[in-house]
Amino acid sequence: MYIEQIYTNCLAQAAYYIESGNEAVIIDPLRNPEPYITLAHKRGATIKYVLETHFHADFVSGHIDLANKTGATIVFGPGAQPGYKAYIATDGDQLKVGTVQIEVLHTPGHTVESACYLLLDETKQPYAVFTGDTLFVGDVGRPDLLSGNLGKEELAAMLFESLQKKIKVLPDQVIMYPGHGAGSACGKNIGKESQSTIGNERVFNYALKITDKAEFIKAVTTDLPGIPGYFFADAHINREGYTFFEEIMFKGLQALSIDQFLTRKMEGAVVLDTRQPMEFADAFVKDALNIGLNGDFAIWAGTFISPDASIILVTAPGTEKEAIERLARIGYDNIIGYLDGGMTAWKASALPFDNIIRFNGSELALLLKNADYQLLDVRNRREVAKDRIAGSVHIPLNELMNRYNELSSTGKWLIYCAGGYRSMIAAAYLKSRGFALVASVDGGINHISEAVPELIELGLETE
């Protein structure tokens, strides 16, 4: 028996490869099927099943592409109604893989069709459980991501029953492999560890320690973070089906001349620049959004761009394929090309370009005294509760699209976050909305607290 966790940092997502004999199972694959096919081929195994823990909201799964290429059977838990061929398991079903068995545990709560997969070893003893978004390290799946007739309280009640009757009854030594790690928006505060045990979670997971249903419902439905705009679209795609990954890559990998690029822009395509924030700030196509590939690319692309938008890319040379694949992972299928030669070609053609002023933390105190700048803090509420700069306006980045009109478009805005990645996203977005005087703080509050610690206020309550 062999198990491999395949972790993708930008989505904080874990897929799994399980092998016994010469048969393999993939759980919750990402959209590009090739890494899983390559792994199975390297190990001399045939992929027999693709197991889906639920209809994912935060990414488009690769189950359809993978099944199409390998002949594997797609498996969902009870109650799933996909718009394509799949095996809908019953609670307690056992799937044979080599010399081991995988038992289907129906665990509604995160969604109604949510299932966990219990791996029974060669002696038919519980060895590991793959919990998807039902149970995380230190957390449980959110009950508010289902677009349908059930409210979050009803789903939370289901989740309580699932945890009590299906998860907590497992032996302490059973290894728990979750669907997400720290940073995922599918939980409230997921731990940083990539795996755990049922025993550890029974002791340390706040949700598993609660034995009263009403208390549990209140705990898991309170203080939920915002839902990224693309989540419900992705859940629909995963349920109904999608365009094959190879088609998306072929369409997106079209090198556009400057004339073609300008035509697409005039037709309404969104210009997405995926370069590093500091490189973007020096020169960019007017009205371009900046979401760098080096950060939480998927979350912020899914926040600031509509899932049905046409997208044209400006990239660092050689990163076009990565940008298209990472957009496809979250269901952004309408990428219609990239600027051939990037900003180097644009500047060589003597076309006008925009820029964003950057300051470092050491310059901040002087600017605030003499340059009429107002501070805009785009960190989340938990971060602001720890420290902030007095007098800052606070709008979390994930709320900026709906709240930017609270800011004066003629004001001078100095934007900061923790390190500079999110502040550049905010600066570019405000520029695209007609804010002429925006600047970003390199290194964010981390640098500010080192350079001018007297500006920092600690332990404030959030609004």
Q: Let me know whether 80 and 178 are in one domain.
A: yes
Integer-rounded Cα Rg, in Å, for the chain is 24
Q: Let me know whether 367 and 327 are in one domain.
A: no
Q: What pLDDT was estimated at residue 462?
A: 42
Is 238 contained in some domain? no
- Residues near 402 by beta carbon (within 8 Å), at least 6 away in sequence: none
The CATH code of the domain that includes 128 is 3.60.15.10
Unique residue bearing structure tokens 């839902």: 227
Side-chain-side CA neighbours of 300 within 13 Å: the count stands at 25
Contact predicate 118/151, CB 8 Å: no
What percentage of the chain's residues is helix, strand, coil (to nearest 5)? 35, 25, 40
Q: What pLDDT was estimated at residue 328?
A: 96
Residue 38: which of 131, 117, 247, 29 has the closest Cα? 29
Q: Let me know whether 115 and 216 are in one domain.
A: yes
- What single-letter DSSP state applies at residue 284? B
What is the mean pLDDT, run by run of 10 residues, along the chain of 463 residues?
95 96 97 97 98 96 97 97 97 98 97 97 97 98 82 96 98 98 90 96 96 97 87 94 95 97 98 97 97 92 94 97 96 97 96 95 82 91 89 94 96 94 98 96 91 82 45
The CATH code of the domain that includes 305 is 3.40.250.10
Edge-to-edge, what's the strand order for the sheet holding 335-339?
255-256, 335-339, 311-314, 270-273, 289-290
Q: Let me know whether 285 and 431 are in one domain.
A: no
Q: How far apart are CA 49 and CA 106, in angstroms?
A: 17
Q: Let me know whether 276 and 335 are in one domain.
A: yes
* pLDDT per position as a tens digit, 20-30: 999 999 999 99
Q: Let me know whether 204 and 330 are in one domain.
A: no
Q: What pLDDT was estimated at residue 361?
A: 84
DSSP H or E run through 313: strand 311-314
Q: What pLDDT was estimated at residue 75?
A: 98
Is 390 contained in some domain? yes
Q: What is the 3-state secondary structure (H, E, C) of 428-446?
A: HHHHHCCCCCEEEECCHHH
Q: Let me know whether 268 and 338 are in one domain.
A: yes
Q: Single out the residue in 318, 348, 378 at which a domain terminates.
A: 348
Q: How far apart are CA 77 and CA 85, in angstroms?
A: 14
Q: What pLDDT was estimated at residue 463?
A: 43
Dihedral through CA 142, CA 144, CA 147, CA 149, nearest 10?
120
Residue type, 327: L
Q: Let me know whether 95 and 127 are in one domain.
A: yes
Q: Give this prediction's pTM.
A: 0.92
Q: Single out the residue in 348, 372, 406 at which a domain terminates.
A: 348
- Which two tokens mark 182? 């720290």
Q: What pLDDT was estimated at residue 150?
A: 85
Domain that holds residue 304: 243-348
Contact predicate 421/295, CB 8 Å: yes
* pLDDT per position as a tens digit, 313-341: 999 999 999 999 999 999 999 999 999 99
* pLDDT per position as a tens digit, 261-282: 999 999 999 999 999 999 999 9
Cβ neighbours of 149 (radius 10 Å): 7
Q: What pLDDT was estimated at residue 372?
A: 84
Counting the structural domains of the chain, the total is 3
